[in-house]
Amino acid sequence: MANFIDSVDSRTQLAGTNRLEVLLFSLGRDSVTGREETFGVNVFKVREVMHIPEITRAPDMPASVEGMVSLRGSMIPIINLPKFCGVNSEQKPSILIVTEYNKNVQGFLVHSVDNIVRLAWEDVKVPPNMMAQQHGGLVTAVTELTDKRIVMIMDVEMVLAKTSGFGEGEELFEGIEKLDRDDVTVLFADDSAVARDQIVRTLNHIGVKHLSASNGSEAWEKIKDLADRAEATGHNVSDYVQVILTDVEMPEMDGYVLTKNIKQDPRLAGIPVIMHSSLSADANQELGKGVGADAYVPKFQPVELAAKLQEILSGHP
């Protein structure tokens, strides 16, 4: 089947337009509920889609990890998404979606793939509490298509964390130097609960205060409130927040647009913005620079994130 990287050049033009492209897929019809739900994943994270090759079974794997597949000389883990999500379908998965998250490659077994749709982030919303609870926090965003189907954007980082401990080990924080700067506040935005938890742990290891938001729109509202407060009290915004850390993929407003908004507001001049994303390809980093980001750090690399924050904060009085 098609390699989705082939058309990456056209997709890079979406940066700063608050748009994304999503590959739609199904986990099969649940034999208990009778429902067949539609899920989505950002095309930027999809390396290819194929029929399922031979899977090498391995002992001591989590229940939803089927084993490993040899792909172009590398062994990658294969996660059965219907099994992981508790879909009781009589239909077996027939398609493998190969994805890359922060240079970690893995395959997801799904029942079928549909097509690629282009969406506006402002039409992609935070899921209602009932939906979020029903799917155990695995859905970070939701949108409605023109054909009235509901598409749920899956928090793949949480899938990886629960199947392999991705990003959770305490050893990831070893070597982080403590600054203990009670005069420093970092505002960060990320829609993934797994990523937010790791960011908090990183900032706690450094010893700085923090404010959080679960998407770019929420972060932008908090930043504007800080700017309004600063104006009203005769302060600079940098008296309240010294660094802004943003994910790229977020419902309602993505990190590219959030960064553009920050850089275009003269009240926020001089406040550095770090993009923090599992979209680790060089093209994505160039896109970050194009909208004014001061640095681009891959997710789930707390030592690297801490080093970049310390580098930036070392120039802050």
Q: What is the CATH number of the domain that holds 228?
A: 3.40.50.2300
Q: Domain check: are 8 and 152 in the same one?
A: yes
Question: Which portions of the chain are predicted below pLDDT 50?
Answer: 1-12, 317
User: Could you give the strand order of the β-sheet that contains 46-51, starting from the edge strand earlier in sequence?
Assistant: 46-51, 95-101, 104-110, 74-80, 65-71
Task: Say if residue 21 is in the same domain as residue 47.
Answer: yes
Torsion angle of C-alpha atoms 191, 192, 198, 201, degrees rounded to 10: 50
pLDDT tens readout for residues 35-53: 888 999 988 888 899 999 9
**pLDDT value of position 2:** 43
Tell which of 137, 164, 191 closes a domain.
Answer: 164
pLDDT reported for residue 5: 44
Are 108 and 225 contained in the same domain?
no
The CA R_g of the chain, rounded to the nearest whole Å, is 20
Question: Are residues 228 and 303 located together in one domain of the fold?
Answer: yes
Q: Does 133 lie in the same domain as 249? A: no
Whose tokens are 């062994």? That residue is 75
Helices 193-206 and 302-313 pack at an angle, to 10 degrees, of: 50
| Overall residue count recorded for the chain in this entry | 317
Shared domain for 281 and 243, answered yes or no, is yes
Burial-class residue 308 by CB neighbours within 10 Å (0-12, 13-18, 19+).
Answer: buried
160 & 103 share domain:
yes
Say how far apart CA 210 and CA 244 lie, in whole Å: 10
Last residue of a domain, one of 112, 129, 164: 164
Q: In this predicted structure, what is the pLDDT of residue 158?
A: 81
Does residue 132 sit in the same domain as residue 175?
no
State how many domains the chain has: 2
The pLDDT of residue 281 is: 58
* Same domain, residue pair 13 and 120: yes
Query: Which of helix, strand or coil describes residue 195?
Result: helix
This prediction has a pTM of 0.81
Pairing between β-strand 181-189 and β-strand 74-80 as defined by DSSP bridges: unpaired
CA distance 218 to 254: 11
Residue with tokens 């298509």: 145
Residue 265: predicted pLDDT: 95
Q: Is 289 helix (H, G, I), strand (E, B) or coil?
A: helix
Per residue in 66-103, pLDDT tens? Answer: 999 998 888 999 999 998 888 888 888 999 999 887 77
Instruction: Let me know: does 190 contact 219? Beta carbons within 8 Å.
Output: no
Find the domain containing 240 and state its range: 170-313
116 and 197 in a single domain? The answer is no
| Cβ neighbours around 49 below 10 Å, total | 19
Domain harbouring 76, CATH code = 2.40.50.180
For residue 283, the model assigns a pLDDT of 62
Task: Tell me how crowded residue 134 is: count the other CB atoms within 10 A of its CB.
Answer: 12
**pLDDT in the model for residue 159:** 84
**Residue ending a domain, choose from 124, 149, 164:** 164
Same domain, 178 and 209: yes
Q: What is the pLDDT of residue 15?
A: 55
Cβ count within 10 A of residue 94: 13
Q: What is the pLDDT of residue 4?
A: 47
- What per-residue confidence (pLDDT) applies to 132? 66
CA distances (Å), 90 to each of 94, 139, 180, in order? Answer: 12, 23, 55
Give yes or no: residues 126 and 213 share one domain.
Answer: no
